[in-house]
Structure formats: structure tokens, C-alpha cells
Chains A and B, each alone.
Chain A
Amino acid sequence: MSTVELIATILGGLTVGSALMVVLSTHPVRSVLFLILTFFMISANYIMLNAQFIAIVNIIVYAGAIMVLFLFVLMLLNLSKDTEPKTSVLMKISAAIAGGVLATVLVAALKDAAFETIENADNTIGLVEQLGMLLFDKYVLPFEVSSILFISAMVGAVLLSKKEKQIID
């Protein structure tokens, strides 16, 4: 096992561990914090995969914005361990079995998938220049459409959280 493989394995283990803690923490705020940790781990994995730009964007977008939002909402609603709804034991057991079986089956299905080695690989694909060219050339329409999605999401969020008009009674 080479050093890189060792690092990758340890990183993978940490990623899985922190992801598992997201689910298992009984405290919602701790769940959020573990999720942030998971995102950092995933960013590290991105760097391992030569995707520096995506890695930093992952941190800015997920850890820096989305998770702040989650934490913000949790704090705003003042949710803590006491208010955390309990799940029935039966449900927990069946869920654990289902999740475990799903993971096993998926891994079993993907384990033997064969991939041929691709020779003409380019290790500069993760750079901003390359991604920028791709984004504004081949994917310019989805890019523009995603901006519309953002606008509508923003308008939707503002509309929903306006206090004056109660939508649901």
C-alpha cells in the first residue's frame, strides 16, 4: 500500500465516520457540525482527485453558506436535544437493516465493475481555466438557466418567510 493509498484510505474512513456521526448524533447542532466536517473531508477527497477548484467551491458553498443556513435555522428555531423527535426502536432497527442491506447490495453490485485504464488523461482539468472554458462554452445554457433557478429560489424563499402573509393556517 503506497502512501497515497494510505492517506486516501484514512481520509475515506474519516469521511464515512463523520457522515455516520451526522446520522447518529442525537443533537441536531452536532449533526450539523459533523456534516460540516464531512464536507471538509469530501473537499479533501476532491483535492486528492486533483479537483482543487471544486474542493474550494465545495467549502465556500456547502460549509460556508448552506450549512451556515442550516445552523442558523436550527438556532433560530432553538432546537436542541430535548426537542429532537424520537424514532421508534422498530423503525430504527428496520432502517438500519435496510440501510445496511442497501449498502451491501450496492457495494456487491459495483465491486466487480471493470474499468479500463484511460491513457490520455489530463491532470489540469481541475484548474479554473479549464473548468471556466468548459462552463462558458459547452455548458453556457445550463449555467444561465441555473442563475434563473437561483433567482426563483431566492424569490421563493423570501416570499415563504415573509411574516405578513400566512400561507398555511
Chain B
Amino acid sequence: MSIQQLLPLLLLFPLIGAFINGTAGKKLPKIVAGSLATLMTFVSFLIALTIFLNLDQPVRSLLFTMIDIDSLHLDAALYADNLSMWMTLIITGVGSLIHLFSMGYMSHDKGYYKFFTYLNLFIFSMLILVLGSNYFMLFFGWEGVGICSYLLIGFHYDDEQKGLLNGLAARKAFIMNRIGDLGLLIGLFLMLLSFGTLEYEQVSRMVLVDKILPNGNMLFAITICLFIGATGKSAQIPLFTWLPDAMAGPTPVSALIHAATMVTAGIFLVVRSNYLFHYAPFTREIILYIGLATSIVAAFIALRQNDIKKVLAYSTVSQLGLIFVALGLEAYTTAIFHVTTHAFFKALLFLGSGSVIHAMSGEQDIRKMGGLKDKIRITHITFLIGTLAISGFPLFSGFYSKDEILGYAFGHSLTIYILLVISVTMTAIYMFRLYFVVFHGTFRDSKDVEHHVHESPLSMTLPLMVLAVLSVIGGVLNLPGIFLHGSGTHFLNNLLNKNVAGLDQIHNVHPDHTTTLILMGVAVAICLTTLFISSIVYKKKGSVPSEDAQLSAWETFSNKKMYWDELYDILFVKPIEWFSKVFYTIVDSFILSGIIEGVVRTVAFSGDIVRKWQTGKVNSYILWMVFGIIGFITYYLIKL
């Protein structure tokens, strides 16, 4: 089968899974529903692998034409190049692992089949997002994942205690994403206006080959609109507050959607449109600073969070900020590299936290955990690997990807480098804090809970182990030049530069070997120092995060998420409420009601008068009718 034929198949399997589970899932045994969904995703992964291995030139596969009018031609087509296939591999690969994990994690849930329907639907939408051949398909997938995300965040909407909050979190995510989506949509319209098409191939040809470019302002508008879309989906300042709240969803959802795949959609969008951003330096600047700010702010907030998932959520935001810094520096392949390693270790950490929560019978507060390292051994080891990877421990995957970003930042400006180092240091601090508090020390919850603590089943630990291995060795995908002088280096770099439009035109200067080594030394030193201090603070001294009341000023500031939500409340919600109230009292109840009631009264009054004519008698009606007819005919007779 040719790649053109395989591409639709790739999309079809998750859709079939969603369809079967969505229609007949209620009647299927749980094991069948779960296995079906997992299998469908895995088959997709295998197909993606086949395509990936055989792909040489970009391939376009037309499904059908959506709109074909004079000025607008929109195809539903799929487009495979190394970028989209790489994303597809991450999505389906990590996706199938998380499906597998969910089979264990959700096994006691009554909405089991629904969950897998949503998951498969999400995979389908995400594949459309990355595999679509134009921005419209991307938008289609974009909205699709938005809906799936909404459904999955509020999955436990009927929970007795937290159901309402879950629903609110889902709505918050949905609405915040709408803001970004509006930006994206406007960007697409502007793009349609200036290029006349939304096809990637045509746009890239126009920009790169024909050098037809809209003027600077238009290009800035387009790129900034696309970036606004990206900030919504990828949780950047100012639209990031939905992501920590989205942790209300089941943990596999957090792992799949809010760590590994959906949040990278914004990054994918920017990488996909790299040639546009290349000609919009000002937008890149904005991306850089936004990413930097996001990274630092989120890392800071993560320092004093006590909910295991919230820590990871802010960590995700912080890491995404880091990736956006890379995007701002035009280090696209590095960004994708970090996306990949981040997908591995963040999925691992989330699934690990899921395993912990599973062991703790649903408890998420780290202050109640402690000393779990002997009780859930596999989870402990894999979680440790994840922690080391994200903290940049030498030779783990995160080390390489982070290092590359730091290297480019150093090449760009020292200030940015230092700020990034601060962010990275904070990352190491909160991750080690999390690790030590959860797994070391003494168990701090009731005996009853302690009695129940148990290792998760194989379906949950297997994905953990696979992801742990990937987190360790993920770095080889893009080994920097100083290691293995030869062909193996910069694998991902070469791969993406091969056939992804625009990327081959960008020549980032890798820092020279000495600089690289120095920077690595700094990073290793930071990581090791943090590890050492953390182990002393939390392991030797056995410190426990203090209660909210005892926090110092900066700690409270961090714990309260830097009051972002409150800030938004004051900035947006309150004024809107105030406006609404004003409009309600003045415009609605006074002016509008006045007009409407006036109209009603006038109609009623005149109706009262005219009603006298409505005798209700056919005779008089037809009499009037006859007079009317006579009038008409006479008029025409006279006119003739």
C-alpha cells in the first residue's frame, strides 16, 4: 500500500474505536472496550511507524474537497512530512501507552467506555491536527482536541464532592481556549486574505520559493494571531491558568492531553509556520519573552504547590515556556526535541503520579504522603527517573534537550540565559522536593490508608517502565556534536531539516564545543547541587511542607499561584460583571424594556381599535374582500 492509502487508514482506526465504544461500548465488557481502544491506537502507531520509515518526500493524500467556490478552495487532505509524522509517532506511541495505563487506572470507573471513546476521539482529532494538509484541517483538529479536552477534564462532572469544580475547570479550559482559538481563526482569515489559500504546500511555496510576502504589518498580524492561538492551546501567559485547573480530569488525561500531546499543538503550529515567523522578527521577540516569563512564573508557582498534580501541571507550563523560548530563538528542531523528551518524561511523571494517587486511594496532597519508596517500588524508580530527566541530570534525555535550549539562549543573550538558568534551577528544586516528600520520610496519612497502599497492576506499571526507558535514552535522538563525532549526532535535526518546509533554510549556529562543555558543566552543577540540598532538607532532616498559615510572604505568593486567578478576576471578570449589571439595570430593564413595552402597548392599543373591524363574520369579511377586488379591477381598468 502506498503512503497515500495508509494515511487515511491511520486516522480511521481511532475513529472506528471511538465509534464502536461510543455506540456499543456500554454493552461491551470493560476489558474489551479498553483493549479495543488501546489496540486501535497501537495499530495507528504501527501504521505511523511504517509511513515514517518509508517517507522520503512529503506526501499529500486527498480525502475529499470540502469547499470549492470561485475564490476559495478547501480540501480535506492529509499531509505527511517528517514533522507531522514525528508528531504522529509521539501522539500514537505515548497515546497507546497511556491507553494501556488507563485500562488499569480507570478500571473502577462507571464511565469506562465513555472515557475510551473520548480518548480515541482525542487521538483522532489530534492526528487531524498534525496530519491535516492545510490550516483549516489544523483548525478542525484544534477544535476537536478542544472538545475532547473539555469532555475529559469534566469527566467526573457527576462526582458528589468535586463534580461542580470539575465542570467549572472544564468550562474554564474551554473558554480560555476559545480566546486563543479566536486569535487563530482571525489569523487564518488574514492568511486567506493575503495568500488566498490555506494549504501548507502552497503557502510555503509562495513564501520560500516565490518570495511573495505580505507586507510587514500583515505578516506581524498573521503571526501574532497564530501565536495567540498557540498561547491558548499551549498554556502560555496570559492564557495559561486553565492548565493547572485542568488537572481535575483523570490522571491519564493529564498525561496524554495536558502534558504530552495537545499542549504541544501550539508549538507544532509555530514550527509548521516557521517560514512566516522567520520574516516576523518582532513576533519572535514576543514569543521569546512570553515563553521566558511563562517558564519562570510557572516554575516559581510550582515551588510551593502541595498537590502532586498541580506541581506537575505548573512544571508542564514552565517547560512549555522553555520550548517557546526555543521557538523564539528559531531553534525549531530543538523545540521539537524538547517536545519529544518532555512527552516522555512528563507522561512518565504524570502516570507515575497517577500510580501514586491510585496507591493512595485518590489522595493527591503530598503532605499526606511520604515514605512510599518501599511500598510501590516500580513507581518509585520510574518516578525517580522522570524526576532526574526533567531536572537535567546528566545523560538523561532532559539534560540534552534542555542543554540545547540553554546553549542557543546563551548564544542569543546572556540575560536570557541567566533567567533561563534560574527557571531550570527552580525546576530542579520543585521536582526534587516533590520526589523526596512523596517517596522519602515517613508515611503521614492514617493507618487505614497506609494499609491499602499497593503497587499498581501490570497494565499501569508497564507503560511506566517503557516511558522510563525512553526518558533515559531519549537524548540519543539529537546528541550534540561533542558526543559521538560522526553520523549519529543530531539525528532529529537532520531528520526534520530533510523535508520540512522552511526548516532547512534556517541555519542556527550551534555553540562551539568549549562553550557547550562549560554550559553543560554549569547545568550539571546546578542539578547536582539542588539534588544534594534537597536530599538534605527533605531526606535527612525529614522536613515536611508547612501548613498554609506558616508560610512566609514569598511562599504564600507561590502557593497562591501568584494570584493569577484573582488578578484575572479583578481585570476581566469584575468589570464584565459590573458592565453587565449596568447594562442590565439601565439598558435592558429601562431602555430596551421601555421600547419593547411601548411597542407592545402601541400594538395592543391600535389592535383594540382595529379589532372592531374584525367582526368574526364571514359575510362581512367577504364583503370587504369584494370591495377590495372591485377597487383593484377598477384601478387597472382606469389604468388601461
Chain A residues with a Cβ under 8 A of chain B:
87, 91, 94-95, 98-99, 101-102, 105-106, 108-109
Contact = CB atoms under 8 A, between A and B. Distances in A.
B640 to A, nearest CB: 9
Contact of A105 (B619, B620, B623, B634): B634
Contacts of B591: none
* SS class, residues of chain A in contact with chain B: helix
B610 interface: no
Given A91-B619, A91-B620, A98 B637 contact: no
17 contacts: A91-B619, A91-B620, A91-B623, A94-B623, A95-B619, A95-B623, A98-B623, A98-B627, A99-B626, A101-B630, A102-B629, A105-B633, A105-B634, A105-B637, A109-B633, A109-B636, A109-B637
Nearest to B617: A91
B628 to A, nearest CB: 10
Given A108-B637, A109-B637, A102 B630 contact: yes
Contacts of A108: 637
Contacts of A99: 626
Contacts of B619: 87, 91, 95
A106 B620 CA distance: 21
Contact of A102 (B620, B626, B636, B637): B626
* SS class, residues of chain B in contact with chain A: helix
B633 A106 contact: yes
Interface in B384-414: none
A94 B623 CA distance: 8
Interface string B609-640: 00000000001100100110110011011000
A153 to B, nearest CB: 21
A98 B633 contact: no
Contacts of B634: 105
A91 B633 CA distance: 23
Interface string B519-554: 000000000000000000000000000000000000
Across the A-B interface, the 10 shortest Cβ-Cβ residue pairs: A98-B626, A105-B633, A102-B626, A105-B630, A109-B633, A101-B630, A102-B630, A98-B623, A109-B637, A105-B634
Given A98-B626, A101-B630, A108-B637, 15 more contacts: A87-B619, A91-B620, A91-B623, A94-B623, A95-B619, A98-B623, A98-B630, A99-B626, A102-B629, A105-B630, A105-B633, A105-B634, A106-B633, A109-B636, A109-B637
Contacts of B630: 98, 101-102, 105
Nearest to A104: B630
A87 B630 CA distance: 23
A63 to B, nearest CB: 26
A99 B620 CA distance: 13
Contacts of B626: 98-99, 102
Nearest to A108: B637
Contacts of A102: 626, 629-630
Contacts of A109: 633, 636-637
A93 to B, nearest CB: 11
